[in-house]
């Protein structure tokens, strides 16, 4: 175990679990160096099935250079239909080659347009639209560009295999060396929330969320409007410094660039208050400013605060030397999703059990076989903390952050009941050497960069 990059420690990822030096390099040198394929669990009827019973056309699209939302907008414009008629299970990034499912309400296969950068395969029809629960996970094929020490991949793989609890001496099922081309080796990494959760270049969303949970609406707004980051253009940094120093909302609105539309939405609300009333805005005005941004971003603020606390809990568990692949007394585990695709070990957090002294051995066997997973909380109003040493960790982290579960009893989109999340993600990893490439699959909600950071050990910006 070794200290993480400073940018990662700022969002709660305080360690790498592998001691070997990283291979260096970067991801996403080209779109086809980052390939993502959805692992779905969604069945369809034949394409000629009744449109009355099965009104949704389902197709698989392989997209190059398309953000999922932008592709859906292009598709709705080309079809001349509302964007609300198009659905998908998971949102994918623009700078990649992505393969995912879409459904379109009341559309015929012959009406699908040709879209540049999109290869479309019609699968059939369905009685309902796609939704988030239909995504089980994602399979990745990633190329590491300009790796400085590619030979280190073998040692890292061996360390991650041991951490995942399935060390096989550096051999995969076929008996080939783990650093050579061929079938995969089982590895494990802490199931951290990746840098993207908090903002890759300006990690502040968790600061906003923590302020909201503390009922500090002014602090939440200023965490988002201020806090200039060195990675931003100088003009943006100057605008953030100005709003920090002056609270002159109208003048700040003139200074913030148009591309920062969420910040400008908040400033509009504050400037309107400033023009109508004297004195500083109160909590209700600051809250109204936050509510000017889209509802999904409002939820993201709180989720990022929960994710930061979760990362800190995992880092503390690492520091104390507690296992991730098996429980200790007091842990809360969840069991595997029985309907998961073969490529995945998929936790079902709705099926939980608290591990007392009598159950440690039996639950350990379930964990070894991929049938159970140790969890930590994404704290919300319904969270019940663990017992034993893990419970101490959870309570200490919340105490340090000045939080308790009841603090998430928040208005509107900010409210969160919480859930639990597996602390370990295990996958079968294949490593190729020329060029250096990593192939693996992860459950939904897990971050490819959290696995890749162990191999590259670089500034998170280089992980994309």
pTM, rounded to two decimals: 0.90
* Long-range Cβ contacts of 49-52 (<8 Å, 24+ apart): 49/124, 49/125, 51/106, 51/125
Q: What's the rounded Cα separation, in Å, for the pair 220 and 225? A: 9
Residue owning tokens 């980052």: 34
Residue owning tokens 């953030």: 240
Helix %, strand %, coil % for the chain, to 5? 40, 20, 40
**What would you report as the CA-atom Rg of the chain, rounded to the nearest whole angstrom?**
23
Question: Residue 39's closest CA among 463, 430, 445?
Answer: 445
Q: What's the rounded Cα separation, in Å, for the pair 225 and 244? A: 8
The three-state secondary structure class of 177 is strand
Domains and CATH numbers, the chain: 2-27+144-191+425-463 (no CATH), 33-137 (3.30.70.3160), 200-293 (1.10.1510.30), 297-422 (3.30.2350.20)
How would you write the pLDDT of the chain (464 residues) with one tens digit per residue? 899 999 999 999 999 999 999 999 999 999 899 999 999 889 999 999 999 999 999 999 999 989 888 999 999 999 999 888 999 988 888 889 999 999 999 999 999 999 899 999 999 999 999 998 888 999 999 999 999 999 999 999 999 999 999 754 443 333 344 444 556 799 999 999 999 899 878 899 999 999 999 999 999 999 999 999 888 999 999 999 999 999 999 999 999 999 999 999 999 999 988 767 666 788 999 999 999 998 889 999 999 999 999 999 999 999 999 999 999 999 999 999 988 887 788 899 999 999 999 999 999 999 999 999 999 999 999 999 999 999 999 999 999 999 999 999 999 999 999 999 999 999 999 999 889 999 999 999 999 999 999 999 999 888 87
- Among 31, 52, 77, 93, which one carries the catalytic annotation? 93
Cβ neighbours of residue 222 under 8 Å, at least 6 residues apart? 243, 244
93 is catalytic: yes
Inter-CA distances, 231 with 20, 27, 222, 235, 244, Å: 29, 18, 19, 12, 18
């Amino acid at each position: 175990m070794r200290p993480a990059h400073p940018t990662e420690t700022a969002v709660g990822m305080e360690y790498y679990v592998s001691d070997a030096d990283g291979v260096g390099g970067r991801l996403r040198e080209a779109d086809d160096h980052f390939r993502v394929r959805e692992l779905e669990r969604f069945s369809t009827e034949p394409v000629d099935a009744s449109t009355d019973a099965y009104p949704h056309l389902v197709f698989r699209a392989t997209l190059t250079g398309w953000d999922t939302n932008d592709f859906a907008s292009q598709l709705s414009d080309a079809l001349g239909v509302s964007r609300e008629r198009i659905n998908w299970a998971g949102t994918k990034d623009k700078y990649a080659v992505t393969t995912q499912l879409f459904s379109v309400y009341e559309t015929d296969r012959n009406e699908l347009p040709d879209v540049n950068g999109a290869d479309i395969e019609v699968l059939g029809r369905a009685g309902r639209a796609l939704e988030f629960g239909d995504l089980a996970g994602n399979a990745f094929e990633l190329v590491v560009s300009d790796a400085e020490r590619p030979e280190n991949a073998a040692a890292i793989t061996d360390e991650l295999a041991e951490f995942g609890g399935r060390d096989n001496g550096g051999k995969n099922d076929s008996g080939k060396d783990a650093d050579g081309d061929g079938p995969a080796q089982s590895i494990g990494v802490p199931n951290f929330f990746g840098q993207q959760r908090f903002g890759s270049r300006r990690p502040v969303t968790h600061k906003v969320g923590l302020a909201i949970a503390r009922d500090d609406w002014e602090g939440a707004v200023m965490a988002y409007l201020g806090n200039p980051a060195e990675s931003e253009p100088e003009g943006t940094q100057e605008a953030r410094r100005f709003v920090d120093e002056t609270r002159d909302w109208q003048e700040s609105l003139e200074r913030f660039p148009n591309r920062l539309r969420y910040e400008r939405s908040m400033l509009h609300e504050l400037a309107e208050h400033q023009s109508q009333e004297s004195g500083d805005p109160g909590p209700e005005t600051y809250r109204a400013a936050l509510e000017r941004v889209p509802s999904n971003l409002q939820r993201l603020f709180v989720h990022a605060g929960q994710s930061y606390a979760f990362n800190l809990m995992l880092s503390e568990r690492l520091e104390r030397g507690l296992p991730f692949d098996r429980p200790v007394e007091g842990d809360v585990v969840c069991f595997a999703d029985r309907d998961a695709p073969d490529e995945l070990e998929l936790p079902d957090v709705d099926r939980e059990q608290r591990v007392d002294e009598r159950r440690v051995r039996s639950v350990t066997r379930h964990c070894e076989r991929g049938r159970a997973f140790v969890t930590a909380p994404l704290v919300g109003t319904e969270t019940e903390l663990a017992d034993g040493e893990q419970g101490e960790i959870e309570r200490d982290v919340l105490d340090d952050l000045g939080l308790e579960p009841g603090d998430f009893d928040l208005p509107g989109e900010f409210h969160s009941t919480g859930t639990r999340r597996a602390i370990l993600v295990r996958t079968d990893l294949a490593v190729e050497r020329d060029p250096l490439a990593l192939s693996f699959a992860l459950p939904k909600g897990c971050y490819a960069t959290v696995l890749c950071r162990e191999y590259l050990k670089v500034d998170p910006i280089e992980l994309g």
